[in-house]
Structure 1
Amino acid sequence: MSRLALVTAIASASQDEDLPLLHAACLELGLRAEIRAWDDPSVAWARYDAVLLRSPWDYTERFEEFADWCQRIDTLTRLLNPWSVLRWNTDKHYLADLAARGVPVVPTAFVEPDMDPLPALQEFLLAHADAEEFVVKPAISAGSRDTQRYARAQEFAAANHIARLLDEGRSAMLQPYLASVDRDGETALMHFNGAFSHSIRKGAMLQREDALNLRAVERINPREAGEDERAVALHALTATTARLDLEEPLLYARVDLIRDSEGRPQLLELELCEPSLFFAHDEGSADRFARVLRELLETTASP
């Protein structure tokens, strides 16, 4: 029987609400699925036929170590999603790739470590004169860590935030804060093996008074994605497949969308590495994903 590792981290195993539901669904289908931490040195990864990333949520704080681990696992067994996808998706510069391929992306400017923070911010604000608020975040991040929402009048505080990121050798990114987020939240669309599964609403997470380095509490509710949202999500996944020259659909993907001032869906993030898939908010979704995993293991099993 094929063996499947469901990968978390020692520090975050208890935080993953999806993991027990997926593990139970896999066992119900007869899959030999085991929960393992990527940073547990005692695990013999080559014994697994596939290694599925679920909640290695400390990777942004140990990125080089995590990247080395992913590359090693990719040579020992089948890493899901594969390392080529993870390498591209863990750095939000991928948004520029997708925008270049015609995907409607929330306007994004990147500030690199060799740039001056204040002039870069002022150029961004000049280009988005109608944006009353904006967001500063690192290009490599998880959740809302090191992410802050600012008013235009907080230019110098925001520049100091950018400077702290650049001093750490990290790229920063700037985006207008779209007012629709406070009203409508985000729509997250989950896809398994390239096919739409379910969607949820995430409430606004960033308040202007939020302190840095806090992971905001997500307010989640089921939501029926609109046809226009599903079309943008499919566009993003198709563009990703073309950009990475993939021969197979992505095993899992979460597409996070918000609407602009004219109500059009815009891509905020494309999560292909370790996204929450919100199984608890759509009955049967964990079972659907487990069936996709079983099919994958059956088609790749050794004779």
Structure 2
Amino acid sequence: MLHPQARTLLDFIEQRGVPPTHTLTPDDARRFYRERRFFTQPDAPPVAIVRELQAPGPGGAIPLRLYRPQAGDAPLPALVYFHGGGWTIGDLDTHDTLCRQLANASGCIVVAVDYRMGPEHRFPAAVDDSLAALHWVHAQAPALGIDASRIAVGGDSAGGNLAAVAAIHARDHGGPPLAFQLLIYPATDMRCGMPSHQTNGQGYLLTSETIRYFHDHYIDDPADDHDWRASPLLHEDLSRLPPAFLLTAGYDPLRDEGLAYAQRLSEAGNRATSICFERQIHGFITMGRVIDEANAAVDLCAAQLRSALSA
């Protein structure tokens, strides 16, 4: 029951001979990811304010981009957003449209984080940068027009992984206090052993080979697969975490580990809502130009943010 628009996109990619990500060098894969967004993503909507910022990090300055949906000085809730791309590709530009959409539809400031990636900077560099950026945003909240008591973390795929890790770390290390987690088809288990990796590992854009490509550019030591900072599903205690909304896709290799994370959050006593877009593929939420359900998914995520962060 693959959505016809997703099927059309996959057929087009095959007919055009688009090279799979795992056949490209990291530099070429990054360039290709940036360029192809113009085909699948909607036009970037205007927002009231866009600011380029930098946060100090363990490896140097971390580029950030702040989106404010409305003018004025009143403090607004905020989402600190980590982009997807297998900890190897993606940047502030590849997720610019999505961040604008979320800001406008939720009424929240969105702060996107351009963390270090592999293979140049392997695990846990992305984690370290994500945590440093989150702490900086919280510390600078008044200057940024952010209500420090209403900060959420979120991300898609690898970014969902980093958001989940940031929430656990904040709980265990005295903050910053977080009000919500927005986890869009998150990677939660680096072992990649759940059934959806087999049933959806070929033919649906994100393949088993591409997952291994991303994994091997990020993880240097196989033992790190069992580190909760790489695989948050493996943390022994998932209690006392912020409310979470998890969005998954039916034809995604990561579907089952996202569902498993939602289940463990609920079993640990947290408020966690999980919605699966059964007919969709990994990465669809940024494809609103060619997949209508992407726009519905953005609206759903924004509504969850608005509700969770309302005063």
TM-score normalized by structure 1?
Answer: 0.31
| Higher strand residue share | 1
TM-score normalized by structure 2?
Answer: 0.31
